[in-house]
Amino acid sequence: MTSRKPSVSEVKKSQPQKIRTVGSSETKNYVCEICEAVVKAEDKGIECEICKGWFHTGCVDLTDNEYEMLASHKLGTIHWYCATCNVKSVELLRLVFGLQDRIQKTEREFDNVKREINAKISKIESEYDAVREDLKSLNQKIEGVRQRCVDSDKEIRTLQHETRNDIENITKGMENKINKDDMEKALIQHTEMLSDETYASKIKNEVDQHLIGMDCQLTSVSTKIDEVRRKTIIEQDRESRISNLILYNVQEPTSPNQDERWKEDREFCLELFNKVLGVPIREDDIRRFVRLGRANLVQPGKARPVLIQFRDRILKNMVMESVSKLKGAEEKYSRIILIHDMNTEDREEYKRLVAEAKDKQNDQISGEYIFRVKGTPGNFRLLKIRRRY
């Protein structure tokens, strides 16, 4: 009878195979995983490459031709698995391919988010550069006006000195020719002349106009700086919340112990993500997990929202993309509401778009379309979707 052939995995190892003989000290008994009988040296047996179990060819419906072909194959490109391992390997391959698709999709999303952030940063930098140029130009104008003020002061002092000298010369030249009354009249006339609009007053008016213009420009620049600062703060706040998710209607744990309540909440959410939504979330993927609000202030039948911060935004986006699976889940899962963690500005924008969507839905006569708010904080948009019948 033909002796037992080596398995495909044994052939691929390309190592010398010792020939077993019945009764030799090197003989090792292998038990068939189907019939539980020993696969003897003279039997036709084959080994599964995954579980390393041995089988009679007859127990696994392997023909003689198939057996000879597997035994004589040298390249290692043909494999044989038992029925159990074959099912598991197919499931594993499907899972691997599915994960590859998800990884590619998340990478594309990450690239899109990266481009959006870079565009926003470039825009803020451009606005900041424009404000800086405005400040530079304004400083130059201020310096010019300051220099003109200095020059004007010099001209005014010169004019005052010349006027004083003229008065002294007139006084000295005329003190023997005019009486006291004439002198007083001359002084009054000269004083009235100086009180009229002179070159100095013109310069003063021009300086006042420039100062008024500078005040306006300073106000404008200050407004721009405040707006850039406000946008920067909003963007930083939005970035700090980008990996956060808030869950509503998660039932409050009943345990009086705080650690046990925290553990029960965490286990419930991990089960929701992995088994219901099909998103592979591990415990170390969650950076922060907290109930919002004080436990002693919760009304009967109500539950505090749960805030979850993931390790990165990709995991959160995967969860949000799978929210539709809650519809067919058990009641304790189907009533869960998942939303983004939004700041005040994003919440107001979201409410405004939701109200606009309701108005458009009510104003629609045909009912052919539905209106939904989609997107992420900072990028919410109102979509018009054709209704499916």
Give the tens place of pLDDT for each residue, 58-84: 999 999 898 988 888 877 788 898 988
Q: Is the pLDDT of residue 221 over 90?
A: no
In angstroms, rounded to a whole number, what is the distance separating the alpha carbons of residues 96 and 101?
A: 9
Q: Position of tokens 């310069």? A: 203
* Helix (H) / strand (E) containing 137: helix 83-174
pLDDT at 200: 61
Looking at residue 88, its amino acid is: K
Residue 130 lies in a domain: yes
Number of domains the chain contains: 4
Q: In terms of pLDDT, which residue wins out, 172 or 197? A: 172
* Same domain membership, residue 145 and residue 69: no
Among 306, 322, 341, identify where a domain stops.
341
* Same domain membership, residue 60 and residue 6: yes
* Same domain membership, residue 35 and residue 130: no
Q: Position of tokens 């006042």? A: 208
* Same domain membership, residue 206 and residue 324: no
* Same domain membership, residue 274 and residue 221: no
CA distances from 47 to 9, 30, 90, 140, 193 (A): 8, 10, 19, 88, 122
Residue 94 lies in a domain: no
Beta partners for 38? 31
Residue 96 lies in a domain: no
pLDDT tier for residue 26 given thresholds of 50, 70 and 90: very low
Q: Do the beta carbons of residue 342 and residue 350 sit within 8 Å? A: yes
Residue 91 lies in a domain: no
Predicted confidence (pLDDT) per residue in 128-173, tens digit: 888 888 788 878 877 877 787 787 778 777 877 877 777 777 666 6
Looking at residue 232, its amino acid is: T
pLDDT at 59: 93
Q: Strand 244-248 vs strand 306-310: parallel, antiparallel, or unpaired?
A: antiparallel
Q: Look up the domain containing 358 and give its range.
A: 342-389
Predicted confidence (pLDDT) per residue in 274-325, tens digit: 998 999 999 999 999 999 988 778 788 888 999 999 998 888 889 988 988 8
In angstroms, rounded to a whole number, what is the distance separating the alpha carbons of residues 75 and 189?
A: 123
* Same domain membership, residue 152 and residue 56: no
Q: Is the pLDDT of residue 40 over 90?
A: no
CB within 8 Å of 295: residues ≥ 6 apart: 252, 261, 304
Q: Do the beta carbons of residue 46 and residue 33 sit within 8 Å? A: no
Q: Do the beta carbons of residue 116 and residue 379 sit within 8 Å? A: yes
In angstroms, rounded to a whole number, what is the distance separating the alpha carbons of residues 126 and 235?
A: 16
pLDDT at 8: 43
* Same domain membership, residue 372 and residue 305: no
In angstroms, rounded to a whole number, what is the distance separating the alpha carbons of residues 56 and 188?
A: 136
In angstroms, rounded to a whole number, what is the distance separating the alpha carbons of residues 336 and 48?
A: 45
Q: Strand 30-31 vs strand 38-39: parallel, antiparallel, or unpaired?
A: antiparallel
Q: Tell me the CATH number at 328.
A: 3.30.70.330
Helix, strand, coil percentages in the chain from 3-state DSSP, rounded to 5: 60, 10, 30
Predicted confidence (pLDDT) per residue in 355-384, tens digit: 998 998 888 877 788 888 888 888 888 888
Closest alpha carbon to 345 in 308, 374, 380: 380
pLDDT at 195: 53
* Same domain membership, residue 273 and residue 224: no
- What is the C-alpha end-to-end distance of the chain, expressed in Å? 68
Half-sphere exposure of 7 (CA within 13 A, CB side): 21
* Same domain membership, residue 337 and residue 223: no
* Same domain membership, residue 287 and residue 356: no
* Same domain membership, residue 333 and residue 358: no
Token representation of residue 265: 């909440």
Residue 98 lies in a domain: no
Among 205, 238, 271, identify where a domain stops.
238
Does this model's pTM top 0.85? My answer is no
Residue 137 Rama label (left phi>0; alpha psi -120 to 50; beta) = alpha
* Same domain membership, residue 188 and residue 229: yes
Work out the mean pLDDT of the chain and round it to a whole number. 80
Q: Do the beta carbons of residue 340 and residue 317 sit within 8 Å? A: no
Looking at residue 299, its amino acid is: Q
Q: What are phi and psi of 291, to 5 degrees?
A: -85, 135
Predicted confidence (pLDDT) per residue in 239-259, tens digit: 889 899 999 999 888 888 888
Among 238, 261, 296, identify where a domain stops.
238
